[in-house]
């Protein structure tokens, strides 16, 4: 009965609740379920942050050996989350604005905002500033796949576009159409 | 002679009701009737009872019922006349009989000879076994599906005349049809063909052998070569070369008279007229006709086809319902009687008690409950208690009463004993408490809940009513009594309703909070358990335990681990792996990991 935290092979420290079998079952009692969902969301977000995972799909619950495997399954207690339950949790994530359906108009996969779009916007601006790329036109590719790894490496394009849109609202960036697609120019903040 | 020719002998010793076909009805009767055969008195039939039924007319001779009684088919009657009587002449009813008995009447065989009419037969279409005893017209078609009865194939046409061959004579070509002779069993065979008959006339066009009196051919309506005295002829059967049925007799004597020696002719004539008018023997529209005939007739519809089957089902269901209603009424009457008996017993008991107390002034060992002491204690002790003071008869009566189970102690509380409803409900609650917990003084008497802390409502209700025996408590009253129960019970018994609507009575250890706490402790010390494990540990029914745990789950006491659903291996929905119950591990959970990085 005594539950203890557990460190996964990827170095993530799972909370002790992850070792409780009831954690993987939907609880009919709404009050209990609310607590469980809160723990799940916290767990999913922190794991995504740890592994820098951006996409969570309902199918990940069935996908043995997938990148979410360490949290969606617990081989030690022989439990895994059901896709129906995960789907519900995903809906909860979107409801709490810590994820967005991507692509839109479906509910099977989400972009997980382990940083909020506003935080991403700040990170992006800081990165441009620190790498001295103010007033330079950058392609999206140059941002998401820079020669020197950055916090923004592998950021999905929809998230990047959202962040740039946020910056554009405060006149710190501008989207520019270029022959190969789109580009962005950052301006120093005033 | 008309009488001899058109009537059949019956055994008058049999009551008229027993002679009827099953679809025939007796309409009326008149005694002291004499018969005239034609214009003359028939010396053998001068005093008898005449019955008229929906199908026939019976004469049962008063002196020689066995030999001189006869029956006459109403179908043969063409017209009737009434004569009111004059001076010494009695009132008379003249019955004219058709000299040419129609084909359908010929098919009415004498009842005592007709094997078909008094034998069951199976319909070839629907395999329904038609019961015997139907009138000839009704017996010709299947009672269930309405399909005409088939000829019995074993009867060879032309062979000595079995009645069955005639059944379909209208449609079956058969060489024997031209002269379907009557079965010889009857004492008065109706002769169809007599040797002195003139030769039939062969039609020049179709060669059909027509009856000599016809002007035109029956088949093709061609003028016949030798027109003779004409009379409308009935259709004859289409067959190879059948001849028309032969006629005989003098129409002047084709009547009989009923002479009413002691009156009653008017009424009887009315009966006869009605029977003739309704033509029940034709086998159709029983319903309207029989209703006209007699008021008490049941509304029968033609039992034909699917509607017939449905009718049969409907009527049998109706019959069953009536039976049940009757039975319930009987029961109610019995209950009233039982109540009387109980009251009588109570009165008797009171009287005896009063007599004995005044006589001996003996003080009961239980002050204030004299009567209940005497009657409530077992027989032996009551005998010893009262034997010294009561006369032997009183003791005997008392012991008899207690042997019958009519002790005052057992008398159920009924509403008429109580003045107002509150008092009544209070008394009921006290009684129920007694049933549930047994006597407080007498530990040999165990109540329903002495051993158990929780009991389903239906069981409590059933047990209470069984204990009462009479004046049963309806569920509504039972539910009214339940809120009063805690006042009369020790430990207090309360009602509890689960989410599913399942309701129980329970003692304090089974209340929501007490059970929740107990089970939580149990789970913490013993680890997660299935519903089954908990039911075993608690000694309760599984369904009940499930209800209780789910109630606890609603309170947040427990949480579930759906092993069947959530297991990686060995689970899977439908494998029957049970849910395991955990104490609520989530409530008050503190995130015990400090996430590093980021």
Question: Domain containing A41 — which CATH number?
Answer: 1.10.10.570
Residue A169 has pLDDT above 50, yes or no: yes
Reported as a pLDDT band with limits 50, 70 and 90, residue B68 is confident
Question: Does B586 contact A39 at a Cβ distance shorter than 8 Å?
Answer: yes
Token pair of B347 as six digits: 């009165």
Closest-CA residue in chain A for B593?
A: A15
Query: Do residue B469 and residue B357 come from a single domain?
Result: no
User: Among B200-214, B350-364, B367-381, B509-523, which stretch is predicted with the lowest mean pLDDT?
Assistant: B367-381
Residue A138 and residue A98 share a domain: no
pLDDT winner (highest mean) among B231-245, B246-260, B409-423, B554-568: B554-568
CA B57/CA B271 separation, integer angstroms? 11
Rounded to a whole number of angstroms, the distance from the CA of A47 to the nearest CA of chain B is: 9
Q: Is residue B534 included in any domain, yes or no?
A: yes
A131 pLDDT higher than 70: yes
Distance in Å, alpha carbon of B341 to nearest chain A alpha carbon? 57
For residue B228, the model assigns a pLDDT of: 44
Distance CA B455, CA B448 (A): 8
Look up residue B266 and give its two tokens.
């008017």
Q: Are B229 and B263 found together in one domain?
A: no
Per-residue pLDDT tens over the stretch B292-338: 444 444 444 456 678 888 888 999 999 999 999 999 999 999 888 88
Instruction: Say how many domains are in chain A.
Output: 2
- What is the structure's pLDDT at B226? 57
Query: Which has more pLDDT, B258 or B115?
Result: B258
Stretch among A44-53, B57-66, B79-88 having the lowest mean pLDDT: B79-88
| Mean per-residue pLDDT of chain A | 84
Q: Which residue has the higher pLDDT, B587 or B104?
A: B587
Indicate whether B310 belongs to any domain: no
pLDDT confidence of residue A31:
87
Give residue B359's pLDDT: 63
Structure confidence at residue B440 as a pLDDT band (50, 70, 90): low
Number of folded domains in chain B? 4
C-alpha R_g of chain B: 43
Rounded CA-CA distance A114/A99 in Å is 8
**Angle A157-A158-A163 (CA atoms, 0-180°, nearest 5)?**
95
Cβ <8 Å between A27 and B559: yes
Residue B375: closest CA among B396, B414, B340, B346: B346
Is residue B188 domain-resident?
A: no
pLDDT for res B186: 42
Q: Does B436 share its domain with B563?
A: yes
Interface with A, mutate which of B561, B582, B586 (most A CBs under 10 A): B586
Check CB contact of B590 with chain A, cutoff 8 Å: no
Contact A3 B585 (CB under 8 A): yes
Task: Please indicate, yes or no, if residue A175 is contained in any of the structural domains.
Answer: yes
Q: Where in B490-539 does DSSP place strands (E)?
A: 494-497, 503-506, 529-530
Interface test with chain B among A8, A15, A22, by most B beta carbons within 10 Å:
A22
Domain range for A157: 117-186
Which carries the bigger pLDDT value, residue B109 or residue A175? A175
Question: Which of A29, A77, A79, A114 to mutate: most B Cβ within 10 Å?
Answer: A29
- Which two structure tokens, joined as six digits, stand for B511? 């209340």
Reading the block at residue B234, the tokens are: 């009935």
- Of B528, B554, B566, which has the smallest distance from its Cβ to A79's Cβ? B566
Q: Please tell me the distance in Å from A177's CA to the nearest CA on chain B.
A: 33
- Give chain B's end-to-end CA distance (angstroms, integer): 130
Mark yes or no for CB contact A32/B587 under 8 Å: yes
Does any domain span residue A1? no
CB-based contact, B87 to chain A, within 8 Å:
no
Q: How far is A20 from chain B (nearest CA, A)?
A: 8
Tokens coding B237: 């059967």
The domain boundary, picked from A112, A142, A157, lies at A112
Query: Is B584–A39 a contact, with Cβ atoms under 8 angstroms apart?
Result: no
The DSSP symbol for B438 reads B
Query: Alpha carbon B514 to chain centroid distance?
Result: 55
How does pLDDT run across B466-503, given as a tens digit for each residue?
Answer: 888 777 888 888 888 888 888 888 788 888 888 888 88
* Interface predicted TM-score (ipTM) over 0.95: no
Chain A hits for B554, CB-CB cut-off 8 Å, are 28-29
Residues B353 and B469 grouped into a single domain: no
Q: What is the pTM of this model?
A: 0.47
Q: Is the pLDDT of residue B526 over 80?
A: yes
CATH of the domain at B518: 1.10.10.10
Q: Is the pLDDT of residue A126 over 50?
A: yes
Domain that holds residue B565: 418-583
Identify the domain boundary among A112, A142, A168. A112
Work out the mean pLDDT of chain B and round it to a whole number.
71
Q: At what angle do helices B379-387 and B392-403 cross, to 10 degrees?
A: 170
Shortest Cα distance from A159 to chain B (angstroms)?
Answer: 18
pLDDT at B452 over 70: yes
- With CA atoms as reference, report the closest residue to B243 among B293, B299, B192: B192
Taking the C-alpha atoms of residue B334 and residue B336, their distance in angstroms, rounded to an integer, is 5
Question: What pLDDT, in 10s, does the model give residues A57-83?
Answer: 888 888 777 788 888 888 888 888 888
């Amino acid at each position: 009965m005594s539950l203890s935290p557990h460190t996964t092979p990827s170095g993530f420290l799972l909370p002790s609740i992850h070792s409780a079998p009831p954690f993987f079952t939907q609880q009919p009692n709404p009050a209990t379920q609310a607590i469980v969902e809160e723990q799940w969301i916290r767990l999913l977000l922190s794991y995504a942050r740890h592994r820098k995972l951006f996409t969570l799909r309902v199918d990940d619950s069935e996908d043995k050996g997938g990148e979410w495997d360490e949290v969606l399954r617990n081989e030690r207690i022989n439990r895994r989350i059901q896709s129906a339950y995960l789907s519900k949790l995903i809906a909860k994530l979107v409801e709490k604005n810590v994820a967005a359906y991507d692509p839109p108009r479906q509910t099977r996969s989400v972009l997980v905002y382990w940083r909020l779009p506003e935080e991403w916007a700040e990170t992006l601006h800081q990165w441009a500033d620190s790498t001295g790329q103010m007033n330079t036109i950058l392609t999206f590719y140059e941002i998401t796949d820079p020669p020197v790894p950055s916090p923004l490496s592998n950021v999905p394009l929809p998230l990047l576009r959202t962040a740039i849109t946020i910056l554009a609202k405060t006149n710190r960036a501008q989207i520019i159409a270029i022959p190969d697609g789109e580009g962005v120019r950052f301006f120093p903040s005033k | 002679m008309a009488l001899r020719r058109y009537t059949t002998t019956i055994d008058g010793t049999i009551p008229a009701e027993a002679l009827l076909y099953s679809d025939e009805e007796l309409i009326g009767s008149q005694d002291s009737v004499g018969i005239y055969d034609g214009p003359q008195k028939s010396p053998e039939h001068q005093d008898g009872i005449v019955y008229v039924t929906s199908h026939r007319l019976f004469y049962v001779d008063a002196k020689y019922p066995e030999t001189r009684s006869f029956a006459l088919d109403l179908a043969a009657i063409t017209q009737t006349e009434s004569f009111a009587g004059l001076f010494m002449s009695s009132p008379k009813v003249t019955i004219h009989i058709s000299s040419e008995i129609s084909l359908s009447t010929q098919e009415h065989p004498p009842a005592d000879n007709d094997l078909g009419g008094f034998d069951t037969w199976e319909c070839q279409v629907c395999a329904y076994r038609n019961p015997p005893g139907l009138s000839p017209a009704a017996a010709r078609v299947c009672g269930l599906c309405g399909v005409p009865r088939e000829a019995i194939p074993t009867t060879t046409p032309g062979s000595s005349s079995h009645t069955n061959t005639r059944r379909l004579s209208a449609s079956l070509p058969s060489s024997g049809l031209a002269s379907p002779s009557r079965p010889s069993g009857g004492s008065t065979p109706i002769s169809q063909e007599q040797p002195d008959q003139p030769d039939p006339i062969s039609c020049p066009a179709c060669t059909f052998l027509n009856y000599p009196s016809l002007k035109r051919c029956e088949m093709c309506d061609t003028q016949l070569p030798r027109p003779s005295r004409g009379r409308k002829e009935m259709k004859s059967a289409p067959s190879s070369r059948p001849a028309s049925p032969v006629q005989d007799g003098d129409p002047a004597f084709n009547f009989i008279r009923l002479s009413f020696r002691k009156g009653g002719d008017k009424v009887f004539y009315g009966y006869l007229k009605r029977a003739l008018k309704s033509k029940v023997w034709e086998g159709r529209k029983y319903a309207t006709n029989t209703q006209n005939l007699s008021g008490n007739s049941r509304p029968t519809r033609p039992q034909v086809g699917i509607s017939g089957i449905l009718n049969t089902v409907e009527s049998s269901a109706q019959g069953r319902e009536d039976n049940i209603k009757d039975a319930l009424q009987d029961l109610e009457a019995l209950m009233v009687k039982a109540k009387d008996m109980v009251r009588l017993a109570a009165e008797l008991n009171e009287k005896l008690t009063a007599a004995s107390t005044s006589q001996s002034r003996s003080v009961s060992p239980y002050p204030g409950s004299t009567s209940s002491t005497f009657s409530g204690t077992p027989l032996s002790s009551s005998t010893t208690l009262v034997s010294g003071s009561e006369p032997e008869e009183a003791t005997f009566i008392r012991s008899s009463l207690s042997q019958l189970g009519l002790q005052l102690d057992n008398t159920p509380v009924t509403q008429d004993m109580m003045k107002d409803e509150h008092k009544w409900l209070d008394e009921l609650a006290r009684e129920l408490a007694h049933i549930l917990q047994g006597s407080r003084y007498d530990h040999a008497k165990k109540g329903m809940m002495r051993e158990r802390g929780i009991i389903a409502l239906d069981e409590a209700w059933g047990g209470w009513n069984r204990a009462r025996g009479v004046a049963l408590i309806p569920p509504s009253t039972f539910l009214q009594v339940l809120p009063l129960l805690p006042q009369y019970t020790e430990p207090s018994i309360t009602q509890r309703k689960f989410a599913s609507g399942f309701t129980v009575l329970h003692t304090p250890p089974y209340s929501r909070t007490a059970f929740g706490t107990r089970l939580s402790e149990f789970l913490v010390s013993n680890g997660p358990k299935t519903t089954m494990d908990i039911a075993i540990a608690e000694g309760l029914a599984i369904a009940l335990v499930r209800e209780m745990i789910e109630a606890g789950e609603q309170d947040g006491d427990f949480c579930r681990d759906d092993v069947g659903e959530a297991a990686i291996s060995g689970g899977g929905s439908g494998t029957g792996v049970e849910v395991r119950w955990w104490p609520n591990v989530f409530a008050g959970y503190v995130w015990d990991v400090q996430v590093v990085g980021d």
